[in-house]
Amino acid sequence: MSHAAARIDETRLWQRHVDMAKLGGLAKGGVNRQALSAEDAAARRLLGEWAAARGYDVFGDAIGNLYVRRPGTENDAAPVVTGSHMDSQPTGGKYDGIYGVLAGFEALEALDDAGVRTKRPVQVVAWMNEEGSRFQPGAMGSAVWAGHYDLAAMLAVKDRTGVVLADALRDTLTAAPCRQVDGFDRGFHAYIEAHIEQGPRLEAERKTIGVVTGIQGSQRYTVDVTGEEAHAGTTPLRVRKDALKSAVAIVAALERHMHDPADVVRFTVGRFECKPGSPNTVPGHVHFTIDFRHPDAAVLARLGDGIAKVAAAAAGPCKVEVARITDVPPTVFDPRIVDLVRAQATALGLSNMDMPSGAGHDAMHVAPFCPSGMIFVPCERGVSHNEAEAATPADLAAGARVLVEALHALADE
Ligand code: HGY
Ligand code: MN
Ligand code: MN
């Protein structure tokens, strides 16, 4: 163990999670800290205070990504970067995303406490709106940074109450001001993101560290079914254009389309809104979302290309509009980074295993620009996107030790 890993402070890292979990804390122990909310602004302010106390440089970009930078002796060299996201699901857990930001920050502090001067700057990024539960699509901050989504188009996105993202971002930066930089600096030397696994494998196989080899591909859609509002008591079935009845038939047809006996396809309808929502009016409009994933790009394309046809065939008398919102290909991490993570975990005497990620992460947008990888730590029963999400102080610190060792090695290249 180098002196940096020895300076990872389990208690300090745990307490920072406790402090962050108060921001948007929920009764059942989870958090609701959605992107650009007052709770998100409070988290940005808190991270900024911790960073200022260490003399780190804090700055933000035009889509609200937040950066904390520890200088290197060659401060103009491309930085080694780590991080994740601070926004959460509406009924999210205390570790999803925030662990990657806090493990990265803990790594900076451990480098300080060990008196390590790295050649390259080491930078922590908190990507804006990874979850996409308030403003769609998700992984927005990293996708705009990567040039996948147009900045102006994302700034114009509205949440379900009609709030425009640009206004929410302005309010957030008013509440949590920091130096703003122009453009998006994609000149990273390398990127490693630490995250809870959000699945059951590490716990089941009694491993402490997941050496992540890649991320499965994903596609997201919105579906709008339009029928005709009518009186529930007087309108005969034969003349109805019942949007709910059609939407239910469409979802059932999509379930058949996505059926996979090998249980590899991940198909989810997470949002389903029926209007006008009055008990005695035949629904005239249903809006629902589709999220589906697969590690094989060809399967993803085949199933995704079939969605509109399946929906149209099941729509009955209603109109259906299918829109593809995101299409993220499978990510394969750089073997050099994967090997480095595995070697550092092994050198630290931590049990580890190679594994793919079922969940999406900002690393999928960074990987095309620089050698990238991820480090997983276990979460209890693999539960995530749920207030019951749980992890242990020891596992969180173990992941941070692997992270600081890998960052230190890369920052001296
Ligand atoms: O949806 C995802 O995979 C990520 O956890 N937001
Ligand atoms: Mn996450
Ligand atoms: Mn998540």
- Ligand 1 atom closest to the Cα of residue 293 is 3
Element (H, E) at 190: strand 190-196
Rounded Cα distance, 412 and 273, in Å: 52
Distance of CA 308 to CAs 273, 274, 312, 319, Å? Answer: 19, 20, 6, 12
Report phi then psi at 54, rounded to 5: -100, 0
Residue 197 in contact with ligand 1 by CB distance below 6 A? no
Pocket test for ligand 1, best of 266, 357, 361 (most atoms within 8 A of CB): 361
Check if 100 has its Cβ closer than 6 Å to any atom of ligand 1: no
User: In this structure, which residue's CA is closest to atom 6 in ligand 1?
Assistant: 131
The arithmetic mean of pLDDT across residues 350-378, rounded, is 98
- The CA angle 260-261-262, to the nearest 5 degrees, is 90
Nearest to 409 by CA among 181, 111, 152, 134: 111
Kindly state the average pLDDT of the residues 356-368.
97
Q: Which ligand 1 atom minimizes the distance to the CA of 96?
A: 5
| Tens of pLDDT, residues 293-348 | 999 999 999 999 999 999 999 999 999 999 999 999 999 999 999 999 999 999 99
pLDDT tens across 384-410, in order? Answer: 999 999 999 999 999 999 999 999 999
Q: How far away, in angstroms, is 182 Cα from ligand 3 center?
A: 28
pLDDT (tens digit, 9 = 90+) per residue, 87-138?
999 999 999 999 999 999 999 999 999 999 999 999 999 999 999 999 999 9
Q: Report the C-alpha gap between 55 and 112 in whole angstroms.
A: 11
pLDDT of residue 1: 53
How many CA atoms, within 13 angstroms, populate the side-chain half-sphere of residue 193? 30
Check pocket membership of 360 for ligand 1, CB cut-off 6 A.
yes
How many other β-carbons are positioned within 10 Å of the β-carbon of residue 268?
12
Q: Give residues whose Cβ lies within 5 Å of ion ligand 2.
A: 96-97
SS3 193: strand
Mean confidence (pLDDT) of the chain: 98
Radius of gyration of the chain (CA): 22
Reported pTM: 0.94
- Nearest-atom number in ligand 1 for the CA of 130 is 6
| Pair 108, 56: CB distance under 8 Å | yes
Looking at residue 3, its pLDDT comes to: 80
What is the CA(2)–ligand 2 centre distance, in A? 29
Atom of ligand 1 nearest to the CA of 359: 3
Spatial contact of 72 and 411, defined as CB atoms under 8 Å apart? yes
Q: Which atom of ligand 1 is nearest to the CA of 385?
A: 5
Give the model confidence (pLDDT) of 255-274 as tens digits: 999 999 999 999 999 999 99
- Whether residue 390 contacts residue 383, with contact meaning beta carbons closer than 8 Å, is answered with yes
Report which residue type is found at 280.
Answer: N
Tell me which residue of 116, 144, 150 sits closest to 129, measured CA to CA.
144
Please give the structure tokens belonging to residue 286: 């249903």
User: Mind listing the pLDDT tens digit for each residue in 187-217?
Assistant: 999 999 999 999 999 999 999 999 999 999 9
| 32's tokens | 């609701």
Q: Point out the ligand 1 atom lying closest to the alpha carbon of residue 360.
A: 3
Question: Best of 130, 362, 383 to mutate for ligand 1, by most ligand atoms within 8 A of CB?
Answer: 130
Give the three-class secondary structure for 38. Answer: helix
Distance 139 CA to ligand 3 centre (A): 10
Q: Where are the beta strands (DSSP E) in 276-381?
A: 281-282, 285-294, 319-328, 331-332, 352-357, 372-377
Distance 90 CA to ligand 1 centre (A): 13
Looking at residue 2, what is its pLDDT? 63
Closest-approaching ligand to the CA atom of 85: 2
Residue-wise pLDDT for 13-49, tens only, equals 999 999 999 999 999 999 999 999 999 999 999 999 9
**What does the buried/exposed string (b/e) look like for 328-345 if buried means 16 or more CB atoms within 10 Å of the residue's CB?**
bebbebeeebbebbbbbb
Of all protein residues, the one whose alpha carbon is nearest to atom 4 of ligand 1 is 360
Which ligand is closest in space to the CA of residue 385? Answer: 3
Query: Which of the listed residues 88, 131, 133 should we mutate to test ligand 1's pocket, taking the one with most ligand atoms within 8 A of CB?
Result: 131
Is residue 220 pLDDT above 60, yes or no? yes
Closest atom of ligand 1 to CA, residue 131 = 6
Point out the ligand nearest to the CA of residue 326. Answer: 1
d(CA 68, CA 81): 10
- Rounded to 5°, the CA angle 48-49-52 comes to 85
Work out the pLDDT band at 6, boundaries 50, 70, 90.
Answer: very high
| Residues 164-175 pLDDT 10s | 999 999 999 999
**Gap from CA of 158 to ligand 2 centroid (Å):** 22
Q: Would you say the CB of residue 92 lies under 6 angstroms from ligand 1?
A: no
